[in-house]
Chain A
Amino acid sequence: MIEFLLNGANVRVDVEDDTPLLWVLRDNLKLTGTKFGCGIGQCGACTVHIAGAAVRSCQTPVGSVQAQAVTTIEGIGAQGLNPVQQAWIEANVPQCGYCQSGQIMAASALLAQTPHPSDDEITAAMDGNLCRCGCYNRIRAAIHRAAELNDAASNVAVRPFDPKELLAGNLS
């Protein structure tokens, strides 16, 4: 039995420890916003946050997230669209849209660490995420836009994420 915090709620799953977090999310917990693209950590479609950091859930055995805070695309906009998602819509980023959950998770982890990333910082944070429709330039533009939206929303969305704080008292 593995327990972890998923999008702010305590979850408990009865699966083998070596099951990739990706498939626990998709098959066991029915959260299908996180996508399967390659299964070998090459494409980034499965990107989620663990303790605030962007990780490849296809390469993350669920046993390793015991008592950790996991956030998926379904969790970052729980109180309405967050500024990254809003910027994605404004910039008309998605085409097929399949990789965009992973892109948005990578981008929001970047912005949480680096509120006003340079082009080079964006490239460094995002070049693990493939987009077959080639929407990269719009992704870059949307990240700059999200930084502005974050500023406009003052410090609501950029508050540093501390998983310990979330976990306190939630897991026995």
Chain B
Amino acid sequence: MSEFNINRRAFLTGTALVTGGLVLGVFPAQRAGAMPNARAGSFQANAWLQITPADEVIFQLDKTEMGQGVLTALPTILAEELEIDPRRIVVELASVNKAFQDPIQMTGGSSSVSARWDILRTTGAQAREMLVAAAAARWAVKPDQCRADDGRIVRLGTDESFSYGDLANDAAKLPVPKHPALKDPSEFKYIGKSLRRFDAPEKSDGTAVFGIDVDVPGAAVALLIRNPHFGGSLQGFDAAAARSAPGVIDIFEVNGAVAVVADTYWHATKAARAVNVTWDKGPLGSLDSEGIRAAWVELAKQDGRTIRDEGDVKTAIKSAANVHDAVYELPYLAHATMEPQNTTASFRDGACEIWSPNQGPDVAQALAADALGIARDKVTVHTTLMGGGFGRRGIPDFVAEAALVSRQVNRPVKLIWSREDDMRHDFYRPATYNVMQAALNDQGQVQSWSHKIVAPSMFRSLLPVLGKVAPEWMPHWLTRSLSAAAGSIVKTRDPTSHEGAVDQPYSIPNIDVAHVFYDPGVPLGFWRSVGHSQNAFVVESFIDELAHKANEDPYQFRRRLLAGHARHLAVLDLAAEKANWGTPKLGTHQGIAVHESFGSVVAEVVEVRIVDNVIKVERVVCAADCGLVVNPDQVHAQVESAVIFGLTAALRGKITIREGAVEQSNFHDYPLLRMNEIPVVEVHVVPSTNSPTGIGEPGTPPIAPAVANAVFAATGARLRSLPLNLTI
């Protein structure tokens, strides 16, 4: 971990520093603050890019790499305009820096490429123009006599050239061009090409360093024995026998759990088994999944808060030839990242150093600072590679735990969650209950659409965390009162509950979407595609029901109600064409779904085969419009991954509650799809010159409804609960 050598220096706009380098100015996205990982004497265009006199081109990767490919895509964008082979760029995983906060330094919402597209192109182009100007000055020629070419500035008509490193000091003294010339996409050399992932070699030979692999000298290993009951407390524990177990360093209470610290994970695990703990079940001790469902049914009788109201649904229902009703239920889901949560912390002399696989370095910093009662600038966060994220690591609660344990034992500590901890102490995808109603006229045409969502509010659930990460300049009383105010707002207007439902695109004359708030208290978090993952299942299944009620082909029915939605139509048509919609392979049945999320639209056609009431998904054909594509192969990879992630949930995923605790504990009772259950996944991308939009998540929402719709086509059974199951 020796590369984590942070050399901070004061940021002074346009002022020469003693080291001979120059910091050039505040980039639009950059507010203030120290330059991250600055090398002495380097030409540092902004927080992302520096070029050293030794000809190193160093990029700070501020978006965290959890598998989605930013470590490859973002340097590619920068390199394109800088005119250098992206594989020559040294990528460093960025620490916390204000320049990277928009408004917090979070990786999520499928936004990394779209949020960095303009910034990194402009950065590369600015640096290129400054290097050209520096070379032109040396040769005493006009800049148009010089050209950037793969890491060198070449003088036209000669064989003279300078490396970027040769020019770094001169370039650093020049003004930053405000509006550098950007390439036309037809000139792209790297964008649009499928460069191999830069991290593939280290992830194929075992040398990639994930959080759990961090080796800080002298570090002990800790695990926590946690109360399985949400909100419960620790009544007491007896560790007398455990203390004398091999390798044990200390056993103590932290945050209502029992920390077992030892020299190795195995010693900590064995000692933990010998600790007798008495738990109080707490306020949710009588909560179970059946009770949650009973509450849903009762609460669904309320009107709820209207969040979309078009036309006059009541009148449409009264005058309908037929009214179609349906109820959809979705369970809690765990993230189950392959790498269990972990963090290494070293607390010493009132400051704390953190090495952590996390999606929000400044969130991690704030949570550690809050737990330790120290200023945030006393907490240094080194973000590592992550063995999956999917939203889980955006709430890095484990960082605070590691920091507290390190302080208690006065030495560096690597805290590792067991798989059981990970499964039972997640921030879960919410469980929801959805009451649907549609009015049909005597030709079977849809006259009204009603969707009532009984669901919690994720933002409200997360307010205690969000309050801790509020900007430092905000006084605490204001943070608290804002949290309270926001609490009442998000109770009824939380996009994570409504997204994908309130904005469903179908042209229906009367539409009513309402939200009945119900939060039984199970911790909630962002799960790949968030509200879209729930609401697309409901919307795209129910629209399919209505297509069948109208005796219309589900694909053509969608086309008709999506007139004017060019992107939806384009992906629907492409998926239908590539999948030979209407002529499935012998013995299989097709289902279709389309959904917009994170700025992208994805349509999926699946082929299922039903064997002894078991649903076998054999083929998934996807069509995506995600704007301009930086790396086609990685866009395909993300859609493939999003489909399998969503299919796992559709066919297997279910977290259930008993006595206020999660019943599942490991992969035997929260199974993931394995190779023998995986369909062929084909991905087709609609060509586009629009700016890039999200792709890490948008492949997930359509898969569950597409499968459910295919199951209906195959069996006539309409499955309205996840996971999909024909045997109950």
Contacts and interface: CB of A to CB of B under 8 A. Distances in A.
B298 interface: no
Contact of B668 (A34, A40, A99): A40
A122 to B, nearest CB: 7
B641 A98 contact: no
A92 B67 contact: no
A100 interface: yes
Interface in A13-27: 16, 19-20, 23, 26-27
A100 B203 contact: yes
Given A38-B667, A85-B204, A95-B637, A133 B419 contact: no
A65 interface: no
Q: DSSP majority for the B interface?
A: loop
Contacts of B389: 96
A132 B200 contact: no
Interface in B559-601: none
Given A36-B416, A88-B200, A101-B206, A30 B215 contact: yes
Contacts of B203: 94, 97, 100
Interface string B188-222: 00000010110111111111111011010000010
A33 interface: yes
A161 interface: no
B337 interface: yes
B266 A95 contact: no
A98 B66 CA distance: 10
B336 A27 contact: no
Contacts of A133: 67, 338, 388, 641, 644-645
B673 interface: yes
B630 to A, nearest CB: 14
B385 interface: yes
Contacts of A43: 338, 667
A73 B202 CA distance: 11
Contact of A134 (B204, B264, B634, B645): B645
A40 B666 contact: yes
B641 A42 contact: no
B633 interface: yes
Contacts of B212: 32, 35-36
Interface string A127-139: 1111111111111
A102 B162 CA distance: 46
Contacts of B204: 81, 85, 88-89, 93-94, 97, 100, 104
Interface string B214-249: 010000010000000000000000000000001000
Contact of A42 (B210, B643, B667): B667
Nearest to A16: B246
Interface residues of A, number: 58
Contacts of B68: 95
A163 to B, nearest CB: 21
A79 B643 CA distance: 37
Contacts of B265: 23, 26-27, 36
A93 B647 CA distance: 19
A32 B339 CA distance: 13
A126 interface: yes
Nearest to B68: A95
Contacts of B674: 127-130, 136
A92 B207 contact: no
Nearest to A42: B667
Contacts of B66: 96
Q: Which 10 A-B pairs have the closest CB atoms?
A: A33-B206, A134-B644, A98-B387, A97-B203, A96-B67, A73-B206, A95-B67, A94-B203, A32-B213, A42-B667
13 contacts: A32-B215, A37-B419, A39-B666, A81-B201, A88-B200, A98-B387, A130-B667, A131-B338, A133-B338, A134-B643, A135-B641, A137-B678, A138-B637
